[in-house]
Amino acid sequence: MTQNKTSSLILTSIASLVSRFTGLSTQIVMAWFLMPADYGLYAIALGITTFTTIMRGGGTGVVFQTMQLKEFSTIGGGLLRVALGCGILGTVFTLAMVLPAPYLYPQDNTKGLGWILFYSAVGFIVFNFTTYPRAKVLSRLLFKQIALMDIASALVKLASTYYFAANGYGALSFVLSQLVSGMVVLFWSLAVAGLERIDFQTQPNWIAPTYTMMKIPFVMALITSLGSSTDLFVASFFIPVSALGIYLFTNQIAVQPVQMLSSTLQSVLAPYAARVRGDSEQEDLSVRQTFLTGVIFVPLFIMGIAAVYPSLAHLLFAQKWDQSILPVQFACAFLMYPTVQNLLEAPLMGARRWSVVLELFTGRMIAKITGALLGIGAIFAAPLVAPIPENYYALTLVISVGFVCTVISFYQIKKVSKQIHISNITFNYEMYSTPAYSVLAAVATSSLANSAIQIVGFASTSIRTEALFEFLFCLATYGGVCVVLLRFGYVENLNNLLQLFPQNMRKYIYKVLALQERSAATFEQSK
């Protein structure tokens, strides 16, 4: 791994962590001021726009992200035309749903749905015009500018979210804050890329190469659009708005921290994979490194969230969102394999292995649709045996969607692992061991925390005092278990991750853990 790659990853990682932390703060602010019904109303809007989400660039964002700088002068203008055209169509289609949408649902509390769709329509244009200048900044490897832009956008979104939510905008707070932060990204990226660098003019015969470049990414965008919120679309017709809100809240809380981990790698892996495109050995190495690192650290990180969330929910929200505790914990358990799959997509897209990525996207879409239908079927079929209480509707959907996604992700990852020459022994060990250890550690940590609360005597104190003790206990206990696992069970994987750190920091970590410093090559050879 080159020094430039290392420094770029560190810089991008810091920005990603700040942005994701701010994103988590945004979710907390929303939860303070909004109710489950507000989340449910926004979920209905997401379900409706799932059929127009393809118009967010029409797949051009993926192509832009993987383009080399010289390609902007040949096909960049054609792709920009496609992006803006899709934005206009998306805006028109979404605006067409503004008036009829509130009348399509049996629920009484869909007031304000039209306005949510209206501002979502405006966001199409903003998002699509941003893809070109942002991608050009990224292709020039201006990671500092990208990092500062992402941080500024996240901070603006947090501030605007607080303003809108605290002043009674309800579900509108979601789309208005996104629109404001999107404007920040648009103007910042335009300033950095330069207006003079955005050229609509391409070679005379621009349509054919643009079509060749876009046909598979467009299909990918279509599949992603259909799979992104199809579960919300299906569920919105059958379950109450509040239950739908709990389901959306659960997904946001569980996914947001995970994205802190995955986006850190994704934002750098794709551009660098693009630079080694054509070298099959280096492409395979990039994907292999991603898999062998992700399959270890993703389960440990995600199940840590499951372990601390009950105490964290009480600490932040008292008992307002208690209905989300079990759904969040189950969602975390079912996110392990889908997150690893998501990590693999970055280097595969960078290498433009579109057929493989298309299979991954298709599997994800099928899984979410199938899982949602099974969950709704279970809710309506349950009265034949024992009715499912309304406050367990969200949990039912989480389990059904999560289980199907986990099964499909497992088999898709296995298929990719064969293509990048990972042995069955290595695959089975990595895919089974760490998830099992992580689940056991999370369950044990929660049990020990409950016992410690009784022993210390916090059970009779205020809910937030008890929650603070439980949170710190779970954090320390689970963190200690992770250190032991990495130190004695996954030394080589830990070494691979440490290659991403600055040399001085890396040496310090090696000293603290009493490990002998090794090179990344040692890790690769051992596998």
- Domain identity same for 67 and 171: yes
> What is d(CA 358, CA 57) in angstroms, rounded to the nearest whole number?
17
Domain end residue (candidates: 387, 410, 436): 436
- Domain identity same for 164 and 22: yes
Residue type, 497: L
Number of folded domains that form the chain: 2
Helix (H, G, I), strand (E, B) or coil at 108: coil
Task: Burial-class residue 62 by CB neighbours within 10 Å (0-12, 13-18, 19+).
Answer: buried
Full DSSP string of 417-438: HHHTT--HHHHHHHHHHHHHHH
- Domain identity same for 253 and 221: no
Query: pLDDT tens across 313-358, in order?
Result: 888 888 888 899 999 999 999 999 988 888 777 667 666 677 777 7
- Domain identity same for 187 and 256: no
**CB of 53 closer than 8 Å to CB of 197:** no
What CA–CA distances, in Å, run from 314 to 323, 454, 469? 11, 17, 11
- Domain identity same for 93 and 124: yes
Domain end residue (candidates: 436, 457, 487): 436
pTM over 0.85: no
Q: Identify the domain containing residue 34 by its residue range.
A: 1-228
- Domain membership of residue 513 (yes or no) is no
What CA–CA distances, in Å, run from 245 to 28, 184, 320, 323, 491? 15, 28, 13, 11, 42
> What is d(CA 318, CA 311) in angstroms, rounded to the nearest whole number?
9
- Domain membership of residue 504 (yes or no) is no
- Domain membership of residue 108 (yes or no) is yes
SS3 letters for 387-400? CCCHHHHHHHHHHH
- Domain identity same for 305 and 270: yes
% residues pLDDT > 70 (the chain): 70
Residue type, 23: G
What ranges make up the beta strands (E) of 247-393?
none
- Domain membership of residue 396 (yes or no) is yes
**CB of 125 closer than 8 Å to CB of 88:** yes
Query: pLDDT tens across 37-92, in order?
Result: 889 888 888 888 877 776 666 666 666 665 555 666 666 666 777 777 777 777 88
- Domain membership of residue 514 (yes or no) is no
- Backbone φ and ψ of 376, nearest 5°: -65, -40
Instruction: State residue 502's pLDDT score.
Output: 56
- Domain identity same for 125 and 147: yes
Domain end residue (candidates: 167, 193, 228): 228
Give the distance between the most distant pair of CA atoms in the chain. Answer: 77
**CB of 87 closer than 8 Å to CB of 125:** yes
Structure tokens, 147: 């990092």
- Domain identity same for 14 and 139: yes
